Structure 1
Amino acid sequence: MAEADPMTTPREALLDYTALPTFTPDAAVLEEHKIVSLDSRDIRSRPFNLMRTKFTKQLYAHNLRMVGITSPAPTAGKSCLSLNLAGAIARLNDTPVLLVDLDLRRGSIAQDLGLEVQRGIGDFLEGKVGSIRDIAIRTEEFPLAILPTMPVSGDSSSLLASENYAELMRQLRAEAEKSIVLVDLPPVFANDDTMLTMEQLDAYLMVVHSGKTTERQLRDSMEMLRPAPCIGTVLNRYKGGLADSYGYTSSKTYSRYYD
């Protein structure tokens, strides 16, 4: 009899969302970092609600549970988009969302939420903690849990090649049985971390910086991530004209999804 693959063998989820420590995001911090999707009354959350609908349809149609979010180069706004998309999905309250910050060198999810992090993904990968429940924290109002990170010292790629990383992926895959797992990844051209991580994810969403990301950067990024499927691109920081009625602060954010 063939031996079961430990990376694919089903495991019991570790996170009890009702038992996780909670936090209430500070409104001023959210405003500073343009995190708007947690407030349904904020008109700027509407583009993320539209994105949420298209995105979740893709997930359920193709049975996708773990999706990375990346960009070809830095400053495209991928972490801001990751948080806003995660918040928009969690606000429906029907499926928990786990947002994982795997940008090990320049993670910003905790900062964007105003969290003072004592332990993070780096501690897990370095063997200082053995369960994601030891570092997870949940928003008080919605079923949105965060696995934060602090910048790691040394070679992040070696951490992603370790048994601790394999265990992290096993635990995240178990959580994906009941949650939507979104993984904020480094930019593709920053290092090889995103290529290493994508081997364990189901698909990715590509964030394109309007006016700065070139066609060649986008094409080369997608080629580097093959065979992982791209379920969509998001044109971010597009400065529309006076006729644009759907704005995200001074930008228009929209998504285009591939078949």
Structure 2
Amino acid sequence: MERIQSAIAKARAARSASGTPSDRPPAFFSRPQASDAARIAEAWEALPQVAPEAGQLARHHIVATRGGRETAAFDVMRTKLLHQMRAQGWRRVAITSPGAGCGKSTIALNLAFSLARQPELRVLLAEIDLRRPSLARMLGLREKHGFAEVLQGSARFEDNAVRIGTNLAIATNRAPFRNPAELLQGASVPAVLSEIESRYAPDVVIFDMPPLLVSDETMAFAGQVHCALLIAAAESTSASEVDVCEQELAGQTNVLGVVLNKCRFMGPDHGYGYYG
């Protein structure tokens, strides 16, 4: 683990010295007007509510539904994420990884639940990993949802999302979607995302993205987000893969940092590592 941390730090220092990557222009982060509060609350209330079983969540390592020792790492990640996003006026964050099996969807769900424990925040988690959707399975959802159809403009968001508690909405996909890169680069996507944000006014939108080195979907969509987190697996992701992915992401959006996941040999006081 120390070797990959050191290699990542050296690669970043080299890029910084060379003057890349450049800063991205800030997007928007604003609270809704008081006159819109009733409309927004009604839209959230209309989303079908579900309550995932505790055992189902535990089997998939979703632990951040309530506070405690095992959620501390996600809460620290949440605080750092909010601090950086609020400072820049950002709302949309992508979560991706170099390859499969790094745990990005698990982290996306835990981060969403951690954020939603702050009652003043509205949080939306949207599944963009259209080749291998997994969020519905991890949550134990039975609804036959298709967020891909929403992005396509052929279905309504409220018919393809669920609400957990009062302030967390999750949009999933029931099955893989054909030609996802073409969809994500389509003309309908920016308008659909803007319409969802206008209607629900989420404070944070998390996009669970495909792995960067497996397909081109993440790069096709990266221009739609304000920032990104890269998830690396401690014993399978190489430092060179992290460096390549950071450079690729930095060409499209702002890279918040690298989360080092699956660290088997860390001490008892550590969980997920976060390096910004």
Amino acid at match of 1:197: F
| Alpha-carbon contact 1:47-1:246 (below 8 Å) kept | no
Q: TM-score, normalised by structure 2?
A: 0.80
Match of 1:33 in 2: 60
Match of 1:3 in 2: none
Distance 1:175 1:211 in 2: 42
| Aligned-residue identity in percent | 29
Match of 1:235 in 2: 260
Q: How far 1:127 moved relative to its partner?
A: 4.2
Which of the numbers 156, 170, 173 marks the counterpart of 2:180?
156
Query: For the structure 1 residues 59 and 127, does the alpha-carbon distance in structure 2 shift closer, same or farther, using more than 3 Å as the test?
Result: closer
Structural mapping, 1:18-97, within 5 Å: 18-41=45-68, 43-97=69-123
Q: How far 1:177 moved relative to its partner?
A: 4.5
Query: For the structure 1 residues 128 and 81, does the alpha-carbon distance in structure 2 shift closer, same or farther, using more than 3 Å as the test?
Result: same
Which of the numbers 224, 228, 233 marks the counterpart of 1:209?
233
Q: TM-score, normalised by structure 1?
A: 0.85
Match of 1:137 in 2: 162
Distance 1:124 1:237 in 2: 33
Q: SS of 2:224's equivalent?
A: coil
CA deviation string 1:21-69 (max 9, x = no partner): 100110110010000000224x311111111111111111111100000
Which of the numbers 115, 118, 121 marks the counterpart of 2:141?
115
Match of 1:4 in 2: none
Query: For the structure 1 residues 82 and 109, does the alpha-carbon distance in structure 2 shift closer, same or farther, using more than 3 Å as the test?
Result: same
Give the aligned length.
Answer: 241
Q: SS of 1:137's equivalent?
A: strand
CA deviation string 1:106-134 (max 9, x = no partner): 111111111113122122244431x3222
Q: How big is the alpha-carbon RMSD for the aligned residues of Structure 1 and Structure 2? A: 2.4
| Alpha-carbon contact 1:203-1:230 (below 8 Å) kept | yes
Distance 1:57 1:176 in 2: 22
Amino acid at match of 1:35: I
- Mind listing any 5+ residue stretches in structure 1 that lack a counterpart? 1-7
Match of 1:104 in 2: 130
Distance 2:153 2:160 in 1: 13
Distance 1:149 1:167 in 2: 20
Q: How far 1:19 moved relative to its partner?
A: 2.2
CA deviation string 1:197-227 (max 9, x = no partner): 1111101011111021111111111222214
Match of 1:185 in 2: 209
CA deviation string 1:59-96 (max 9, x = no partner): 11111100000001110000000000010010111111
Q: SS of 1:238's equivalent?
A: coil
| Alpha-carbon contact 1:101-1:149 (below 8 Å) kept | yes
Q: SS of 2:163's equivalent?
A: strand
Amino acid at match of 2:256: I
| Alpha-carbon contact 2:123-2:202 (below 8 Å) kept | no
| Alpha-carbon contact 2:57-2:138 (below 8 Å) kept | yes
Amino acid at match of 1:246: D
| Alpha-carbon contact 1:14-1:132 (below 8 Å) kept | no
| Alpha-carbon contact 2:212-2:219 (below 8 Å) kept | yes
Amino acid at match of 2:261: N
Which of the numbers 259, 265, 268 marks the counterpart of 1:245?
268
| Alpha-carbon contact 1:121-1:148 (below 8 Å) kept | yes
Match of 2:273 in 1: 254
CA deviation string 1:150-179 (max 9, x = no partner): 333421112123233233232244368442
